Structure 1
Amino acid sequence: MYGCRVIQKAIEVVDLDQQKNMVAELDGHVMRCVRDQNGNHVIQKCIECVPEDVIQFIISTFYGQVVMLSTHPYGCRVIQRVLEHCHDPETQQIMMDEILQSVCLLAQDQYGNYVAQHVLEHGKPVERSTIIKKLTGQIVQMSQQKFASNVIEKCLAFGDPIERQILINEILGSDDENEPLQVMMKDQFANYVVQKVLETCDDSQRELILTRIKLHLNALKKYTYGKHIVARVEKLVAAGGIEEDRRWFMEAMQAHAVDVVKRMREITMVMRTPEEVLEAQGVTPSDIEGMLDELHEHVEAIDMANDLHSVGGLVPLLGYLRNSNASIRGKAAEVVSTVVQNNPRSQQLVMEASGFEPLLLNFTSDPDITVRTKALGAISCLIRNYKAGTTAFRLANPYSGLRDALSSNNTRFQRKALNLIQYLVQENSSDCSVIAELGFPRLMIHLASSDDLEVREAALGGLLELARDGTAGNNIISTEKDQLSQLLQNRIDDIRSMSPDDLRAAREERQLVDSLWSICYNEPSVLRKEGLVVLSGEESFEMPPDVAGRFFEPPLRAWAAKAPPSNEGSGLANRAKKETPLRIGSVSSLSENSRDGHTGS
């Protein structure tokens, strides 16, 4: 890792004769270096700093393999350097011919798309036009693909006016066909292409596009990605739109808000209707699920989530958590999750409406694993960063339920339990000892070897939090010494044998394994020694030094630092020790203390 930096610097500063001698050493090893996470930087530096005729043997090695290299995590960088620094007409022609013959493939590749974007941004007009022509006819499909959507954005940004018009026409469809634009505006990737169209088109094109968007504005507000288009339109209208456009937009937004509130009232009326009455009217469980799906979309906006209580819909929604149909119970838990997520007002309203009890019951004892999983997700959203909710959860003593989740075969259930455990120990260090005593670390060690990457990361994250706690950490390291050592060694071996793509995907896991090893054994892991914790091109996970913390200390901490010593000075510490302890026992009901704790907060 460090040796390659020395070589790069030497290539920059030595004279031409020395450059020739150094470059000659690469003969026969070019492709091996290109594919190496350190060696590729040396090849790039040669292309940047050494005369073209001296490195021709390097360039000619790429002939016939340009597409393969363009789809490689390191090779794609090397190809871009060749396009930037090699001006020999023959070299340019050979490289460009291979690229242009495989434009569609490269555009959709996670690394190849960077090469296609590079040609669009820095290439000759004829090369740019060739790429756009190759993609014309499949703009909508390409826009919906994660990597190709970036290439389409570059086509719009760097194409000439005629080419841009062709692309826009394809996106708009015919006069009686709104489908392409409609589909793109709701898509997680294509919506960014539509935003780029609005950003790059001329006034007449923008007017036409806005006219089309007006037809779907209310519907777009219901979709997660459609909201991005609405926000962009709002910005455009506010910045430079004429008064008529501004008035239209405000009226449309107002109408949408009124329409949603009206619809939420209608849904509330249905939720309040007794189940037997709905059955008599021919309403099926599937109909109710569809209604809850619609409500789910409406409450994604925090204002609408809070309005659910205002229109009387929150209590009947919580009632669905006790419905006899498992799918309805699960769907209701999903809606509750969205209502309370990052929403202190709705967290409080749900707790006051006794919504915690049915969620807890569903999590700990529902016969349907999907319902248990969704209920746990809702509980996690309900208590996160909300003291009354966290206190109620601890008093309910749901740890047997968490143990069941960790012992299950459902990876989603496992992940949610692990993430919640990690939150709890971060929130209150006294939980570390209790969780350690209950045998959770052994389950977490087992899950840290899961085939599911997210489960592994969540388990490692929880173990790391426990290990950082002095008492609990020492206990785990001593009692689970052999299992922990075997786990870390296995994870290190697996990481060292990963392909470059898998290695990048496991970025968080690499960091967690290294940190856990350092805490357990007081030394850097093999991963750090081999440069596998932070790969080339990645930012370090390490926290920057705290150079300003002392100037922004919390008032109590600053006061305590300056306060004179006193026999009574430990009052705060004594109060801290009286934090609600974890309780081991029945999870069937909440104690009265939990309600008192809530109303007092």
Structure 2
Amino acid sequence: MAEGRQNRRYPQNLQGVLHLAIDAGSVAEEPAAVEAMSQERSSWLREALADVCKGQMDEVEQMKQCLAVLNQEEVKGEEDRNEDEEDERESAFEVLSELCENLDNARDLMVLGGLDLCVSKYLGHAQSGLRWRAAQLVASCAQNMPQVQAHLLKISALPKLLQLTDSDPHPKVRVKGLHAVSCLVREQEAGLAAFLSHDGFSVLMRGMQSANQKLQTKSAFLLLNLLTSHPEHKDTVISMGMVQQLVSVLRTPHSPFHEHVLGALCCLVVDCEKGLKDCRDPSLNLEDLLQLRARALQGKDESQEELEFCERLRTACFRGHQSDDHGMDR
């Protein structure tokens, strides 16, 4: 029996400890086994909980060590040394991003000042590898964490992330910046208000018009998500000429992200007369474009949702509707 206890592996996380506790409760339902097992189970639980707590403390220490690396003054001059320092900093960011997938660690990093350091020093760093890793860490911490989101908005992370998304020369920085923007504005009223005040919809429009396919896709997806969740902002984007811009995007060589573009156009015509009017503008020739697109998508299983958006938009805008021009021809 002693050998069996020595060979047992204790749980390394809270979920395992909980399973162990449930098992202990199951044993307690069998009176004959209680006396024999309770002391052993109790010992397991104590040791397992101690291991979990020790692991959590170790993670906090790891974060502190990573922040010590990121807080170091940068030495200029020796190229090899600079490269080594950059490698150390990149490794520190990668460790932090992995650790902060745990929500408790994300909150601890905020308390330790790690997010302030990211925003103040690394989102604008000269090295692109550090910029995108900083944006990635911000995204990891902000996702589904209202307390962290509020802190990042307070220290003006969003305008810096929008700037990275809009104009950074490195494609990966732009993509990671937009991911972090999304984590700050989706399902977050204060984040959306800040996004609007910094002309975020224009940033998404330019992202869809870029040559960066990942940025195109993420921009179109976020636009669709925001319009679906917040239809009250349709007038804002329509007044920006969004319908005309989206149609011009659809005229570019076909890409999978066009599915989200068509979805956004569908949102803009639902219960919105101005959106319908813009889509029916003869100069856009949208009806012919949709007919051609629907024909090209027929029979392609992977394009069924895009085809559905296409048909929905044609029905909403053109079926049963006759333009003024056609009326004059008669």
Provide the residue aligned with 2:22 in structure 1.
239
The superposition leaves residues 216-254 of structure 1 with CA deviations (integer Å, 9 ceiling, x where unpaired) of x65xx7xxxxxxxx74x4453232153344334322221
From 497, 506, 513, the counterpart of 2:299: 497
1:301 lines up with 2:102 in the alignment: yes
Structure-1 separation of matches of 2:117 and 2:77: 14
Provide the residue aligned with 1:569 in structure 2.
none
Judged with a 3 Å threshold, the aligned counterparts in structure 2 of structure 1 residues 448 and 510 are, in CA distance, closer, same or farther, namely same
Provide the residue aligned with 2:223 in structure 1.
421
From 390, 415, 435, the counterpart of 2:192: 390
Structure-1 separation of matches of 2:45 and 2:311: 55
The superposition leaves residues 505-551 of structure 1 with CA deviations (integer Å, 9 ceiling, x where unpaired) of 4443344334323322458xxxxxxxxxxxxxxxxxxxxxxxxxxxx
The superposition leaves residues 13-55 of structure 1 with CA deviations (integer Å, 9 ceiling, x where unpaired) of xxxxxxxxxxxxxxxxxxxxxxxxxxxxxxxxxxxxxxxxxxx
The superposition leaves residues 270-302 of structure 1 with CA deviations (integer Å, 9 ceiling, x where unpaired) of 222222289868743222112111100111111
Kindly indicate whether the alpha-carbon contact (under 8 Å) linking 2:153 and 2:191 is maintained by their aligned counterparts in 1: yes
1:378 lines up with 2:161 in the alignment: no
Higher relative contact order (CA 8 A, sep 6+): 2
1:385 aligned counterpart, secondary structure: coil
1:487 lines up with 2:289 in the alignment: yes
Structure-2 separation of matches of 1:497 and 1:434: 37
- Aligned pair count reads 297
Deviates more, 1:379-388 or 1:506-515: 506-515
Aligned runs of 1:1-400 on 2, under 5 Å? Answer: 211=9, 231=15, 233-234=16-17, 236-241=19-24, 242-276=41-75, 283-318=84-119, 319-400=121-202
Provide the residue aligned with 1:519 in structure 2.
316
Which one has a larger percent helix, Structure 1 or Structure 2? 2
Give the TM-score normalised by the residue count of structure 1. 0.45
Provide the residue aligned with 1:461 in structure 2.
263
**Which blocks of at least 5 consecutive residues in structure 2 are unaligned?**
25-40, 321-330
Kindly indicate whether the alpha-carbon contact (under 8 Å) linking 2:128 and 2:173 is maintained by their aligned counterparts in 1: yes
Larger Rg: 1
Structure-2 separation of matches of 1:390 and 1:383: 5
Matched residue type, 1:415: T
Kindly indicate whether the alpha-carbon contact (under 8 Å) linking 2:293 and 2:310 is maintained by their aligned counterparts in 1: yes
Provide the residue aligned with 2:37 in structure 1.
none
**Which blocks of at least 5 consecutive residues in structure 1 are unaligned?**
1-205, 222-229, 524-601
Structure-2 separation of matches of 1:509 and 1:245: 55
Judged with a 3 Å threshold, the aligned counterparts in structure 2 of structure 1 residues 292 and 412 are, in CA distance, closer, same or farther, namely same
Kindly indicate whether the alpha-carbon contact (under 8 Å) linking 2:287 and 2:318 is maintained by their aligned counterparts in 1: no
Judged with a 3 Å threshold, the aligned counterparts in structure 2 of structure 1 residues 516 and 272 are, in CA distance, closer, same or farther, namely same
Deviates more, 1:464-473 or 1:325-334: 464-473
Structure-2 separation of matches of 1:418 and 1:491: 18
The superposition leaves residues 447-476 of structure 1 with CA deviations (integer Å, 9 ceiling, x where unpaired) of 4576443x1221122111111141332223
After superposing on structure 2, the runs of 4+ consecutive aligned residues of structure 1 that deviate more than 4 Å are 206-210, 277-282, 446-451
Judged with a 3 Å threshold, the aligned counterparts in structure 2 of structure 1 residues 254 and 278 are, in CA distance, closer, same or farther, namely farther
Judged with a 3 Å threshold, the aligned counterparts in structure 2 of structure 1 residues 250 and 418 are, in CA distance, closer, same or farther, namely same
Aligned runs of 1:444-455 on 2, under 5 Å? Answer: 444-448=246-250, 451-453=254-256, 455=257
Structure-1 separation of matches of 2:296 and 2:199: 37
Judged with a 3 Å threshold, the aligned counterparts in structure 2 of structure 1 residues 367 and 247 are, in CA distance, closer, same or farther, namely same
1:408 aligned counterpart, secondary structure: coil
Structure-2 separation of matches of 1:236 and 1:507: 43
Give the Å deviation of 1:315.
0.9
Give the TM-score normalised by the residue count of structure 2. 0.78
